[in-house]
Amino acid sequence: MSYIAESNGFKIEVNTGFDFDKSNPMRFYYLFQYNVTITNLTHNGAQLISRKWFIVDNNGKEEIIEGPGVLGKQPYFDKGQSFTYTSYCPLTTLKGVMYGHYYMKDKDGEFFTIDTPEFYFSIPEEYTIWTFALTNNQFSFS
């Protein structure tokens, strides 16, 4: 699924997916992948300084993650430049939502925020029955 937002002259596109191989339903561990592309639509350069994420699982439990840059990088964006990265979000529920902000600094040293779209995590329908059967010990091997 693809989610797009524009904020303060930047376009943020997020694509989400489920990582079946690294998930473990028996331990209520579901790993979701998200790919983010940030594009500068303005005529001014800016640097990504830090980020703050809000993650809410299907039970309403909220977690806040914040820190410098993304994946240890603080990319600089000239006009029209993009930066893409992939990261992961572990959840203990089959669904969740994530949204946040990037804190930026323009070429004049002024700080501003760009908001991400709200994006959703959900295991694919074909895994729902498999997950239910595993977590409720309903597998039979004949």
DSSP per residue, 33-57: EEEEEEEE-SSS-EEEEEEEEEEEE
Mean pLDDT, the chain, integer: 90
Instruction: Count CB neighbours of 42 within 10 A.
Output: 14
pLDDT tens-digit series, residues 112-126: 999 999 999 998 877
Model confidence at 127: pLDDT above 80 = no
Model confidence at 139: pLDDT above 60 = no
Are the beta carbons of 55 and 96 closer than 8 angstroms?
yes
The percent of residues above 90 in pLDDT, for the chain, comes to: 80
Closest by Cα among 43, 39, 53, 50 to 84: 39
| Residues facing residue 62 across a β-bridge | 56
Q: How confident is the model at residue 86 (pLDDT cuts 50, 70, 90)?
A: very high
Q: How confident is the model at residue 97 (pLDDT cuts 50, 70, 90)?
A: very high
Give the least confident one: 12-16, 18-22, 33-37.
18-22
Contacts of 21 (CB under 8 A, 6+ apart): none
Average the pLDDT over 48-54 and give the result: 98
